[in-house]
Amino acid sequence: MTELEEARERYCADFERFKQKAARNGGGWTYPLRKTAISRFAEVGFPTTRDEEWKYTSVAPIVKVRFRRADPRPNGVVPRALAQTGAGELAKNRLVFVNGHYSERLSSVGSLPGGVKVESLAAALVNDPAAVEPYLARHASYQDHAFVALNTAFMEDGAFVHVPKGCVIDEPIHLLFVSTSNGEATVSYPRNLIVIDSDSQVKIVESYVEVGGRGYLTNGVTEVIAGENSVIDHCKLERENETAFHVATLQARLGRSSNFVSHSITLGGALIRNDVNVMLDGEGGDCTLNGLYLGTGERHIDNHTRIDHMKPHCVSRELYKGILDGKVKAVFNGKIVVGKDARKTDAKQTNRNLLLSEEATIDTKPQLEIFNNDVKCSHASTIGRLDENALFYLRSRGLGLETARALLTYAFASEVVNQIKIAPVRAGLDDLLTARLQKICQA
C-alpha cells in the first residue's frame, strides 16, 4: 500500500471513531453530510502532483504525518499570550478558537443590532439548525477537493455569523484561531459560515496564530453567502508557526449588486495552500481578491484562486503579490471563468513576484476560460528583482543598502496593504511587515 492509500484508510478509520462523538454532541443531523463527504474522500483520496490543481504542490509532507484530532484545551491560552501575538486587540468583537474549539473565556462580542448572530458554529449546529442547514456545505464543494471533504466530515467548530437584512455593522468581527499544539501533531478543522442578507454590510477578519504551536495542521473552510446589495470586507491573516501546515478554502457566493473584498495575507507556515473561490451569481456583482505572500527559508506557499463570472455586468479585480526569499517555492494559479450568460464582464488579474534570492522560485499561471464575446478580461504576471536604479537612487541620498532594500520591498508590498480598508488590520500588518522585512534584508 502506498503512503497516500495508507493515509486515506487512516482518515476513513478515524471517521468511524469520530462519528459517534459528532452524533453525541447534538449535531446529529449533520451525519448524512459528513458521511457523504468522507465517502467522497474515500473515492478521491489525497491529490498528487499529477492532478492539475496540485501540479506544483506535493501534499506528501502533510500526508505522512499521523495527526491526532485536537481536543479542546480550555486552559491552554491566557489573554496575555494572545496579546503578545499582536492579534488579540484587533477588534472589539472577537471570537477566539483554541485548536479549532471555541473559547468563551477569551471571546467577547460587543452590542450588535438585533437579530445579528456572531457565535460558535458548534453551538449553532445544536441550537439553531434551521439557520445553518440551508447554507452549510452547500457552497464549498467537497466533491473534488480532498481537504474540503475532510473538513466537512470532521468539522466541529468555527464561527457562525448571520447578519439579517439591512444591518450595517461598523466594528469588524474578528475570528481568531490559535494553535497551541506544543509539538504534538494535531489537526484542527475550523469551519466558518458567514451569511450576510441583502442590504447589509460587515467586516470580517480571520486570523491564524500560534501560542506555542508547532508541527500542527490547520484544515479550514470558510463559506460566505453574500445577499443582494450586501457589502463584505474580508481579510485573512495567516501567521501560523513556521513548522505548521495550513490548507484552507474560502468559498463565496455573491448575489446581485453585492460587493465582496477579500485580502489574503500569508506570512507563516511551512506548507500553505489557499483556495479562494468566488461565484458572481447575480448581475452587477463586484469582487476584489487581493493577496500578499511573504516567504523565507524553505517554505512552500500555494495560492489558488477561481472567479466564476456567471451573470452579466460583474466586475472582478485581483492583485496577488509575492515576496520570496531563501529557497521558498511559491505557486500562484488564478482562474477566471466567464460563463456564456456573463456579458459585459470586466475582469482583471495581476500577479507580481519579487525574488530576493537566487534560489527562490515561483510558478505563476493565469487561466482564463471565456464563453462570451462581449467581455473585457486581462491578466498579467511578472517575476522580478529589486530595481537596481531605484536602489542606487536611495543609496545616493544616504540610505544604507539594507535600509534601501527593505524600503523598496516594503513599497512593493504596500500596494496590497494600502488597499485594506480595515484600519487596525492595515496598521498592524504595516508594523509586522516593516519588522519582518528589515530582518530579511539584513540577512
The window from 129-137, 249-257, 355-363, 382-390 that contacts another protein (CB under 8 A) reads 382-390
The window from 106-114, 370-378, 401-409, 419-427 that contacts another protein (CB under 8 A) reads 401-409
- By CB under 8 A, name the one of 71, 392, 427, 435 that touches another protein: 392
Q: Does 320 bind another protein (CB under 8 A)?
A: no
Q: Does 394 bind another protein (CB under 8 A)?
A: yes
Q: Does 426 bind another protein (CB under 8 A)?
A: no
The window from 227-235, 290-298, 408-416, 423-431 that contacts another protein (CB under 8 A) reads 408-416
- By CB under 8 A, name the one of 78, 380, 411, 435 that touches another protein: 411
Q: Does 408 bind another protein (CB under 8 A)?
A: yes
* C-alpha distance across the termini of the chain, in Å: 44
Least CB distance from residue 386 to another protein, whole Å?
A: 11
| Phi, psi (rounded to 5 degrees) for 126 | -85, -50
Shorter beta-carbon distance to another protein: residue 19 or 395 = 395
Q: Does 384 bind another protein (CB under 8 A)?
A: no
* 39 DSSP β-pair partners: none
Q: Does 13 bind another protein (CB under 8 A)?
A: no
Least CB distance from residue 334 to another protein, whole Å?
A: 22
The window from 180-188, 199-207, 265-273, 402-410 that contacts another protein (CB under 8 A) reads 402-410
- The CA distance from 142 to 145, in Å, is 5
- The CA distance from 215 to 263, in Å, is 26
Q: Say how many residues touch another protein, by CB under 8 A.
A: 23
Q: Does 415 bind another protein (CB under 8 A)?
A: yes
- By CB under 8 A, name the one of 10, 393, 421, 435 that touches another protein: 393
Least CB distance from residue 384 to another protein, whole Å?
A: 13
User: Rule CB under 8 A: which residues touch another protein?
Assistant: 387, 389-390, 392-401, 403-404, 407-408, 410-415
